[in-house]
Amino acid sequence: MGTSPHTPLPIAEADFTQTGYSYTLSLIQGKHKMVILYCLMEYEPVRFNEMRRYLGRISDKTLSVNLKELERDGLIARTEYPQIPPKVEYSLTDLGASLMEVLDQMCTWGETHRPK
């Protein structure tokens, strides 16, 4: 048996951690990562303080950790400009932009199904 949605392995042989779904979740899991990606999709490039204001109640440390993880995973790019005061901007990479189709579908689903 294959691993396509139409011919799944027997559950005794299956390993969720080896699925594409699990990999995608590992990149966007957490309270803020999808919101960060959505913000960059709508407004890029975005500076750190702009991002913090957009997200609302988030500490500098939490935002910094999330940005570093998204950068490490290749979803966002950090551009530092050598000036005083320092200027840093964040934007989506091609890989991050390719994930926006998925997030856009989530938005569409939410708009369709949220209580009026």
Query: What is the CATH number for 109?
Result: 1.10.10.10
- Do 46 and 17 lie in one domain? The reply is no
- Do 55 and 107 lie in one domain? The reply is yes
Quick check: helix, strand or coil at residue 30?
Answer: coil
Q: Please say whether the dihedral angle defined by the alpha carbons of residues 56, 54, 38 and 26, taken in this order, is positive or negative.
A: negative
- Do 24 and 36 lie in one domain? The reply is no
- Do 36 and 79 lie in one domain? The reply is yes
pLDDT of residue 4: 53
- CA–chain centroid gap for 58, Å, is 16
- Do 23 and 50 lie in one domain? The reply is no
What are the pLDDT tens digits along the chain (116 aa)?
444 556 788 988 888 888 888 898 888 998 999 999 999 999 989 999 999 999 998 999 999 999 999 999 999 999 999 998 889 999 999 999 999 988 888 888 999 999 98
- Do 109 and 65 lie in one domain? The reply is yes
Quick check: helix, strand or coil at residue 65?
Answer: helix
**Residue 91: its H or E element:** strand 87-92
87 DSSP β-pair partners: 81
- Do 20 and 72 lie in one domain? The reply is no
Do 45 and 91 touch, CB atoms closer than 8 A? Answer: yes
Domain extent, residue 95, equals: 32-113
* Number of separate domains in the chain: 2
Contacts of 13 (CB under 8 A, 6+ apart): none
